[in-house]
A and B are shown apart, each in its own frame.
Chain A
């Protein structure tokens, strides 16, 4: 498990967040900040885009903002 404060951008981690509650792309990015993952911002954007396409989560417009979520 990552040391304190460090997180890993994995499909499992994204799946866990989206199963918990609907999140916007910005919410997710805040969970995987570059200073916590050690990834560059481009790498983070590309990785997250690939993971989201693979997970193919549900989408929901909340307060005019697109949210992703995964039903259990």
Chain B
């Protein structure tokens, strides 16, 4: 489900925040 992908993408970007 895309909402799951959205949530995971937000979590992933939070993990990568200094990296982004």
> Which chain A residues lie closer than 8 Å to B11 at the CB level?
41-42, 45
Q: How far is the CB of A71 from chain B (nearest CB, A)?
A: 18
Interface assignment of A66: CB less than 8 Å from any CB of chain B: yes
- Which B residues between 1 and 20 are near A, CB-CB below 8 angstroms? 4-9, 11-13, 15-16, 19-20
A52 and B9 contact, CB distance less than 8 A: no
A24 vs chain B, min Cβ distance (A): 7
Give 21 A-B contacts (CB < 8 Å), ordered by A residue: A25-B12, A25-B13, A25-B16, A26-B6, A26-B9, A28-B12, A29-B8, A29-B9, A33-B5, A41-B7, A41-B11, A42-B11, A45-B8, A45-B11, A45-B15, A46-B15, A49-B12, A49-B15, A52-B16, A53-B16, A66-B20
Interface on A for B, CB 8 Å cutoff? 24-26, 28-30, 33-34, 41-42, 44-46, 48-49, 52-53, 59, 66
